Amino acid sequence: MRLTTLRITSTRTAAARLDNNRRTLLPFSDVGALLATGESWQDHAADPGELLTPTHAPTATGPLTKRLATMNQVYVNYATRAKELNTAQPPIPQLLTTPLAALVGDRDILRPTPETDIQWGVELGVMIGQYTSRVPEAKALQSIAGYTVVNTIAAHGRPAIVAVGPQLVTPDELPPGARGLTLTATLDGHLRQKANTSDLLFDVATLIARISTRTTLMPGDLVTTGTPAATRPGQLHDGSRITVAIKGIGELRNTIIL
């Protein structure tokens, strides 16, 4: 199943189910609100809903969720990233709780604080579908509602702007743990990042199990799995165009305004 958040008007959004060229509106303001219904979210997502014809369906998508105040983020999770930062590969996941300044969707304008050390990069995002506390690795993947594309833009010590979307892809449509997927990021048309989710130092199951020992993950929560090498502070400028993509999930296109 593939889910997204559509912009219906300038002030209204709605969760929607995507079936090839068909889009079905669901009675929730966004995918996060749908997931927040708890373990029954899949039943709600399969409801008949309101079918939109291709000629009338809106094309703009918003962020998958609007309800996050923070997200769980992994700092270094690719060997290439550790090498780039001149640091040893961590023996256990380095977990961050990242405060958010804004959540944005595909084609939205990003307006970060004009700092010199702005970080960014493509990440595999994991959205949680059920209450999860101290889950063992063997059962951790059962907690996942689906996977998405994330680009976290932040200066050190500042709340982050997080682009998330354009769709949530449920685990049954992807390899276990979303392994084997190619990630890319381009800046102003130039390829800056290319990696594979099989290169993660700590896979999705390990991360969910580890995070759930220190906090209870709630339906609709977002976990990001880290970005590969090749994005550095100072690369972004006013008007920069960023595209981040994960094969089999989708791509996010955004423009930076400083």
- Cα–Cα distance for residue pair 13/29, rounded to 1 Å: 5
CATH superfamily, domain at 70-256 = Fumarylacetoacetase-like, C-terminal domain (3.90.850.10)
pLDDT at 193: 94
The Cα–Cα gap between 98 and 120 comes to 14
pLDDT of residue 39: 83
Each residue of 123-154: b (16+ CB within 10 Å) or e?
A: bbbbbbbbebeebeeeebbebbbbbbbbbbbb
Q: What is the pLDDT of residue 57?
A: 55
Structure-token pair, residue 52: 């939109």
Per-residue confidence (pLDDT) for residue 210, from 0 to 100: 95
Q: Output the pTM of the full model.
A: 0.94
Please report the pLDDT score of residue 54 as a whole number: 61
Average pLDDT by consecutive 10-residue portion of the chain (258 residues)?
90 90 91 92 92 67 88 92 89 91 93 81 96 96 97 86 95 97 96 95 97 93 92 80 97 93
Measured CA distances, 1 to 111, 172, 202, 205 (Å):
32, 8, 26, 21
Which residues of the chain are in CATH 3.90.850.10 domains?
70-256
